[in-house]
Chains A and B, each alone.
Chain A
Protein backbone atom coordinates (compact mmCIF):
# COMPACT_ATOMS: atom_id res chain seq x y z
CA UNK A 1 0.00 0.00 0.00
CA UNK A 2 1.66 3.17 -1.19
CA UNK A 3 -0.59 6.20 -0.91
CA UNK A 4 1.57 9.19 -0.25
CA UNK A 5 4.61 10.89 -1.68
CA UNK A 6 8.02 10.25 -0.16
CA UNK A 7 7.68 6.50 -0.69
CA UNK A 8 6.40 5.82 2.81
CA UNK A 9 4.40 2.63 3.27
CA UNK A 10 1.98 1.41 5.92
CA UNK A 11 4.71 -1.06 6.87
CA UNK A 12 6.92 1.91 7.85
CA UNK A 13 4.20 2.99 10.27
CA UNK A 14 4.16 -0.46 11.89
CA UNK A 15 7.94 -0.29 12.22
CA UNK A 16 7.77 3.20 13.76
CA UNK A 17 5.39 1.93 16.46
CA UNK A 18 7.41 -1.19 17.38
CA UNK A 19 9.62 0.52 20.03
CA UNK A 20 6.45 1.77 21.77
CA UNK A 21 4.96 -1.73 22.09
CA UNK A 22 5.67 -2.40 25.82
CA UNK A 23 3.69 0.70 26.89
CA UNK A 24 0.35 -0.05 25.18
CA UNK A 25 0.77 -3.77 25.91
CA UNK A 26 1.01 -3.24 29.69
CA UNK A 27 -1.59 -0.45 29.51
CA UNK A 28 -4.00 -2.88 27.82
CA UNK A 29 -3.25 -5.61 30.37
CA UNK A 30 -3.97 -3.09 33.16
CA UNK A 31 -7.26 -2.11 31.54
CA UNK A 32 -8.24 -5.77 31.38
CA UNK A 33 -7.37 -6.23 35.07
CA UNK A 34 -9.44 -3.15 36.06
CA UNK A 35 -12.37 -4.22 33.85
CA UNK A 36 -12.33 -7.64 35.49
CA UNK A 37 -12.28 -6.05 38.98
CA UNK A 38 -15.27 -3.91 37.96
CA UNK A 39 -17.15 -7.08 37.00
CA UNK A 40 -17.21 -6.17 33.32
CA UNK A 41 -16.38 -9.55 31.82
CA UNK A 42 -13.92 -10.45 29.08
CA UNK A 43 -16.34 -9.93 26.18
CA UNK A 44 -17.53 -6.43 27.17
CA UNK A 45 -14.00 -5.29 28.01
CA UNK A 46 -12.60 -6.56 24.70
CA UNK A 47 -15.49 -5.12 22.66
CA UNK A 48 -14.91 -1.77 24.39
CA UNK A 49 -11.22 -1.80 23.45
CA UNK A 50 -12.12 -2.74 19.86
CA UNK A 51 -14.77 -0.03 19.43
CA UNK A 52 -13.53 2.82 21.62
CA UNK A 53 -9.73 2.34 21.23
CA UNK A 54 -8.84 5.19 23.61
CA UNK A 55 -7.21 4.06 26.84
CA UNK A 56 -7.79 6.96 29.20
CA UNK A 57 -11.53 7.23 28.42
CA UNK A 58 -11.97 3.48 28.89
CA UNK A 59 -10.15 3.67 32.23
CA UNK A 60 -12.26 6.70 33.19
CA UNK A 61 -15.60 5.04 32.45
CA UNK A 62 -14.71 1.76 34.15
CA UNK A 63 -13.24 3.56 37.19
CA UNK A 64 -16.56 5.39 37.67
CA UNK A 65 -18.55 2.14 37.29
CA UNK A 66 -16.19 0.33 39.68
CA UNK A 67 -16.70 3.08 42.29
CA UNK A 68 -20.47 2.55 42.07
CA UNK A 69 -21.17 5.57 39.87
CA UNK A 70 -24.17 5.78 37.57
CA UNK A 71 -24.35 4.96 33.90
CA UNK A 72 -24.61 8.63 32.97
CA UNK A 73 -21.57 9.60 35.07
CA UNK A 74 -19.48 6.81 33.51
CA UNK A 75 -20.46 7.81 29.97
CA UNK A 76 -19.93 11.53 30.65
CA UNK A 77 -16.44 10.94 32.10
CA UNK A 78 -15.39 9.00 28.99
CA UNK A 79 -16.96 11.46 26.55
CA UNK A 80 -15.22 14.43 28.23
CA UNK A 81 -11.90 12.55 28.21
CA UNK A 82 -12.22 11.78 24.50
CA UNK A 83 -13.38 15.24 23.40
CA UNK A 84 -9.73 16.03 22.66
CA UNK A 85 -10.03 13.74 19.62
CA UNK A 86 -12.19 16.39 17.93
CA UNK A 87 -9.24 18.79 18.06
CA UNK A 88 -6.69 16.08 17.22
CA UNK A 89 -8.64 14.71 14.23
CA UNK A 90 -9.01 18.20 12.77
CA UNK A 91 -5.21 18.53 12.62
CA UNK A 92 -4.96 15.43 10.37
CA UNK A 93 -8.22 15.90 8.42
CA UNK A 94 -6.50 16.52 5.09
CA UNK A 95 -4.18 13.47 5.01
CA UNK A 96 -6.89 10.80 4.65
CA UNK A 97 -7.47 9.71 1.03
CA UNK A 98 -10.61 8.19 -0.48
CA UNK A 99 -14.34 8.50 0.13
CA UNK A 100 -16.25 9.13 3.32
CA UNK A 101 -16.65 5.48 4.31
CA UNK A 102 -12.95 4.80 4.00
CA UNK A 103 -12.05 7.97 5.91
CA UNK A 104 -14.53 7.01 8.65
CA UNK A 105 -12.84 3.62 9.09
CA UNK A 106 -9.24 4.85 8.86
CA UNK A 107 -9.85 7.82 11.18
CA UNK A 108 -10.53 5.28 13.96
CA UNK A 109 -6.79 4.55 13.96
CA UNK A 110 -6.15 8.02 15.38
CA UNK A 111 -4.86 7.64 18.95
CA UNK A 112 -2.46 9.87 20.87
CA UNK A 113 0.56 7.70 19.96
CA UNK A 114 -0.20 7.16 16.24
CA UNK A 115 -0.94 10.88 15.87
CA UNK A 116 2.34 11.84 17.55
CA UNK A 117 4.34 9.37 15.40
CA UNK A 118 2.62 10.53 12.19
CA UNK A 119 3.63 14.14 12.85
CA UNK A 120 7.25 13.48 13.74
CA UNK A 121 8.66 14.76 10.43
CA UNK A 122 6.91 18.13 10.80
CA UNK A 123 4.01 17.22 8.51
CA UNK A 124 1.47 14.47 9.08
CA UNK A 125 2.09 11.25 7.12
CA UNK A 126 -0.89 9.01 6.33
CA UNK A 127 1.10 5.71 6.06
CA UNK A 128 2.67 6.27 9.48
CA UNK A 129 -0.64 7.10 11.13
CA UNK A 130 -2.44 4.08 9.64
CA UNK A 131 0.48 1.63 10.09
CA UNK A 132 1.23 2.57 13.69
CA UNK A 133 -2.50 2.86 14.47
CA UNK A 134 -3.18 -0.67 13.16
CA UNK A 135 -0.31 -2.13 15.14
CA UNK A 136 -1.37 -0.36 18.35
CA UNK A 137 -5.01 -1.39 17.77
CA UNK A 138 -4.21 -5.11 17.56
CA UNK A 139 -1.92 -4.84 20.59
CA UNK A 140 -4.59 -2.98 22.59
CA UNK A 141 -7.43 -5.41 21.88
CA UNK A 142 -5.34 -8.55 22.49
CA UNK A 143 -3.76 -7.22 25.69
CA UNK A 144 -7.17 -6.20 27.05
CA UNK A 145 -8.48 -9.74 26.59
CA UNK A 146 -5.35 -11.18 28.24
CA UNK A 147 -5.66 -8.67 31.10
CA UNK A 148 -9.19 -9.75 32.02
CA UNK A 149 -7.98 -13.35 32.25
CA UNK A 150 -4.95 -12.27 34.29
CA UNK A 151 -7.22 -10.15 36.52
CA UNK A 152 -9.30 -13.20 37.38
CA UNK A 153 -6.13 -14.95 38.57
CA UNK A 154 -4.87 -11.99 40.65
CA UNK A 155 -7.54 -12.08 43.34
CA UNK A 156 -8.22 -8.90 45.33
CA UNK A 157 -6.56 -6.14 43.30
CA UNK A 158 -6.55 -3.58 46.12
CA UNK A 159 -4.48 -5.82 48.38
CA UNK A 160 -1.72 -5.55 45.79
CA UNK A 161 -1.90 -1.75 45.74
CA UNK A 162 -3.56 -1.77 42.32
CA UNK A 163 -5.91 1.05 43.35
CA UNK A 164 -2.89 3.30 43.86
CA UNK A 165 -1.37 1.99 40.61
CA UNK A 166 -4.42 3.25 38.69
CA UNK A 167 -4.09 6.67 40.35
CA UNK A 168 -0.45 6.65 39.19
CA UNK A 169 -1.58 5.73 35.69
CA UNK A 170 -3.88 8.78 35.47
CA UNK A 171 -1.09 10.93 36.95
CA UNK A 172 1.39 9.75 34.30
CA UNK A 173 -1.15 10.50 31.54
CA UNK A 174 -1.78 13.93 33.07
CA UNK A 175 1.87 14.98 33.40
CA UNK A 176 2.55 15.96 29.74
CA UNK A 177 -0.38 18.41 29.78
CA UNK A 178 1.01 20.34 32.75
CA UNK A 179 3.66 22.16 30.73
CA UNK A 180 1.03 24.75 29.88
CA UNK A 181 0.05 27.32 32.57
CA UNK A 182 -3.64 27.39 31.61
CA UNK A 183 -3.80 23.61 31.95
CA UNK A 184 -2.20 23.77 35.41
CA UNK A 185 -4.80 26.31 36.55
CA UNK A 186 -7.67 24.22 35.15
CA UNK A 187 -6.24 21.05 36.74
CA UNK A 188 -5.97 22.78 40.14
CA UNK A 189 -9.59 23.94 39.90
CA UNK A 190 -10.67 20.41 38.89
CA UNK A 191 -8.86 18.97 41.93
CA UNK A 192 -10.67 21.39 44.27
CA UNK A 193 -14.08 20.61 42.71
CA UNK A 194 -13.47 16.87 43.06
CA UNK A 195 -12.27 17.14 46.69
CA UNK A 196 -15.19 19.34 47.75
CA UNK A 197 -17.86 17.19 46.07
CA UNK A 198 -16.53 13.72 46.99
CA UNK A 199 -18.01 13.68 50.55
CA UNK A 200 -21.40 15.08 49.47
CA UNK A 201 -22.17 13.88 45.92
CA UNK A 202 -22.89 10.34 44.64
CA UNK A 203 -19.96 8.36 43.16
CA UNK A 204 -18.90 9.54 39.73
CA UNK A 205 -20.56 12.95 40.00
CA UNK A 206 -17.44 14.76 41.34
CA UNK A 207 -15.45 13.56 38.30
CA UNK A 208 -18.06 14.78 35.86
CA UNK A 209 -18.56 18.10 37.70
CA UNK A 210 -14.81 18.72 37.53
CA UNK A 211 -15.20 19.02 33.74
CA UNK A 212 -16.56 22.54 34.38
CA UNK A 213 -12.95 23.60 35.07
CA UNK A 214 -12.31 23.47 31.30
CA UNK A 215 -14.39 26.66 30.99
CA UNK A 216 -11.20 28.46 32.08
CA UNK A 217 -10.34 28.03 28.40
CA UNK A 218 -12.87 30.78 27.60
CA UNK A 219 -10.76 33.30 29.53
CA UNK A 220 -8.37 35.33 27.41
Chain B
Protein backbone atom coordinates (compact mmCIF):
# COMPACT_ATOMS: atom_id res chain seq x y z
CA UNK B 1 0.00 0.00 0.00
CA UNK B 2 1.24 3.49 -0.77
CA UNK B 3 2.14 5.41 2.36
CA UNK B 4 0.17 8.39 1.04
CA UNK B 5 -3.23 6.80 1.72
CA UNK B 6 -2.91 6.63 5.52
CA UNK B 7 -1.14 9.99 5.57
CA UNK B 8 -3.92 11.76 3.68
CA UNK B 9 -6.67 10.14 5.80
CA UNK B 10 -4.69 11.29 8.83
CA UNK B 11 -4.38 14.84 7.48
CA UNK B 12 -8.14 14.88 6.88
CA UNK B 13 -8.87 13.71 10.42
CA UNK B 14 -6.51 16.37 11.75
CA UNK B 15 -8.19 19.14 9.74
CA UNK B 16 -11.66 17.99 10.83
CA UNK B 17 -10.54 17.91 14.47
CA UNK B 18 -9.02 21.38 14.11
CA UNK B 19 -12.31 22.69 12.71
CA UNK B 20 -14.30 21.16 15.57
CA UNK B 21 -11.85 22.49 18.14
CA UNK B 22 -12.23 26.05 16.86
CA UNK B 23 -15.91 26.06 15.94
CA UNK B 24 -17.67 24.17 18.73
CA UNK B 25 -19.26 25.92 21.68
CA UNK B 26 -19.92 23.03 24.07
CA UNK B 27 -16.89 21.99 26.16
CA UNK B 28 -17.58 18.26 25.81
CA UNK B 29 -17.73 18.62 22.01
CA UNK B 30 -14.36 20.42 22.11
CA UNK B 31 -12.96 17.41 24.00
CA UNK B 32 -14.32 15.13 21.23
CA UNK B 33 -12.46 17.23 18.64
CA UNK B 34 -9.26 16.80 20.66
CA UNK B 35 -9.83 13.04 20.45
CA UNK B 36 -10.01 13.33 16.65
CA UNK B 37 -6.70 15.24 16.62
CA UNK B 38 -5.06 12.52 18.73
CA UNK B 39 -6.53 9.86 16.45
CA UNK B 40 -4.94 11.55 13.43
CA UNK B 41 -1.54 11.52 15.13
CA UNK B 42 -1.95 7.86 16.09
CA UNK B 43 -2.74 6.86 12.52
CA UNK B 44 0.43 8.63 11.38
CA UNK B 45 2.49 6.82 14.01
CA UNK B 46 1.16 3.40 13.00
CA UNK B 47 1.62 4.08 9.28
CA UNK B 48 5.23 5.20 9.69
CA UNK B 49 5.96 2.27 12.02
CA UNK B 50 4.72 -0.21 9.43
CA UNK B 51 6.61 1.62 6.68
CA UNK B 52 9.92 1.58 8.54
CA UNK B 53 9.43 -1.99 9.94
CA UNK B 54 11.04 -0.72 13.12
CA UNK B 55 12.45 -3.49 15.33
CA UNK B 56 11.60 -1.52 18.48
CA UNK B 57 7.98 -1.09 17.26
CA UNK B 58 8.27 2.51 18.43
CA UNK B 59 5.30 3.79 16.42
CA UNK B 60 2.82 1.20 17.64
CA UNK B 61 4.04 1.37 21.24
CA UNK B 62 3.77 5.16 21.16
CA UNK B 63 0.25 4.80 19.76
CA UNK B 64 -0.70 2.63 22.73
CA UNK B 65 0.72 5.30 25.02
CA UNK B 66 -1.15 8.06 23.18
CA UNK B 67 -4.36 6.07 23.69
CA UNK B 68 -3.66 5.74 27.43
CA UNK B 69 -2.80 9.44 27.73
CA UNK B 70 -5.97 10.33 25.82
CA UNK B 71 -8.01 8.33 28.32
CA UNK B 72 -6.35 10.18 31.21
CA UNK B 73 -6.88 13.51 29.42
CA UNK B 74 -10.58 12.85 28.89
CA UNK B 75 -10.99 11.84 32.52
CA UNK B 76 -9.33 15.00 33.81
CA UNK B 77 -11.02 17.20 31.20
CA UNK B 78 -14.46 15.91 32.14
CA UNK B 79 -13.69 16.43 35.83
CA UNK B 80 -12.86 20.07 35.05
CA UNK B 81 -15.99 20.43 32.89
CA UNK B 82 -18.11 18.95 35.67
CA UNK B 83 -16.67 21.29 38.28
CA UNK B 84 -17.14 24.32 36.00
CA UNK B 85 -20.73 23.25 35.38
CA UNK B 86 -21.37 22.97 39.12
CA UNK B 87 -20.02 26.45 39.75
CA UNK B 88 -21.43 28.34 36.77
CA UNK B 89 -24.28 26.14 35.48
CA UNK B 90 -22.98 26.25 31.90
CA UNK B 91 -20.63 24.27 29.66
CA UNK B 92 -20.57 26.87 26.88
CA UNK B 93 -17.13 28.24 26.08
CA UNK B 94 -18.48 31.72 25.31
CA UNK B 95 -19.76 32.10 28.87
CA UNK B 96 -16.57 30.86 30.50
CA UNK B 97 -14.59 34.05 29.93
CA UNK B 98 -13.50 34.95 33.44
CA UNK B 99 -10.97 33.51 35.89
CA UNK B 100 -12.70 34.83 39.00
CA UNK B 101 -15.07 32.72 41.04
CA UNK B 102 -18.74 33.34 40.37
CA UNK B 103 -20.52 35.51 42.92
> A and B: real partners?
no
> Which A residues lie at the B interface, using CB under 8 A?
none
> Which B residues lie at the A interface, using CB under 8 A?
none
